Amino acid sequence: MKQNIHLLVIDPQNDFCDLPADWLATEPFTGAQMQPALPVAGAHADMLRLAGLIREGAGGIDAITITLDSHHRFDIAHPTFWQSRDRGAVAPFTTITAAQIRGGDYSPRDRSALQRTLAYVDELERRGRYTLMVWPVHCEIGSWGHNVHSAVKAAYNAWEDGQLRVVEKIAKGSNPWTEHYSAIQAEVPDADDPGTALNMRLVESLDRADMIVIAGEASSHCVRATAEHVGANLPSGRADKLVLVTDCMSPVAGFEAQHQAFLNDMAERGVQLRASAEVLSLLTSNL
């Protein structure tokens, strides 16, 4: 019997891919070669495998959803937001705690934002999922880095043409006051922004499938957060519907332990861990 299979691809964007030189574009205004802002080692190969999976298994896929990390340059998780004690720049990959803010080690460059910032970091720490991380400016809306990896885009465009269906695109991260790793919910939802709240419409759409296949970048952060939120909120409660394509995702450097803990935790919850070749076999037989 044919299964309804929904492919969920998390943030397959240029800024997260370790693209080789011949895949890089040139910025017309400056003439400089564009570089990914936050490249994940192995991501380019992940995306090539994913593109092959979509292309060769197209007939077995009933729906595709692509999530897009979508940030403004000014963002609570970007260096543009912060200054150090001496009003110097704050380097990417700096973690910032509420205690450090109260102690004056770090502060918002806009001093009027101090209380709102502290309230956010306090709540983030209370939830216990992440410590605030200052990332390089990445996936800026309208930039080359925000664009989808070209092989993945070509593959899902061919799927759209062949299946006469639309790939759904879900933007996340445009609220500059909260981190939004998960496509389902911001780390600290903003009461004034419905786009940061739990996206049950998306969860329910996924739950209508017999199998939810998940791939993308990075496994230590956005894939992890999304999969955790999907699994925790499926109306069916069936974690066994979820399939993580383990060779179509990679962790941010230095977060390999978080990647492995994520896979271990998902397996314990009943989520399937499969390589792309196994998933392709499922798709090609699902006709």
Stated pTM of the model: 0.96
Asked whether 93 and 134 are in contact (CB, 8 A), the reply is yes
Closest CA to 156 of 282, 56, 39: 56
Please list the ranges in the chain whose pLDDT falls under 70. Answer: none
Burial-class residue 99 by CB neighbours within 10 Å (0-12, 13-18, 19+): exposed
Q: Could you give the CA distance from residue 258 to residue 114 in angstroms, rounded to a whole number?
A: 30
Residue 46, C-beta contacts closer than 8 angstroms, at least 6 positions apart: 215, 217, 247, 248, 249, 250
* pLDDT score recorded for residue 229: 97
* pLDDT score recorded for residue 1: 83
* pLDDT score recorded for residue 63: 98
Q: For 164-252, where are the alpha helices, taking DSSP H only?
A: 200-207, 222-233
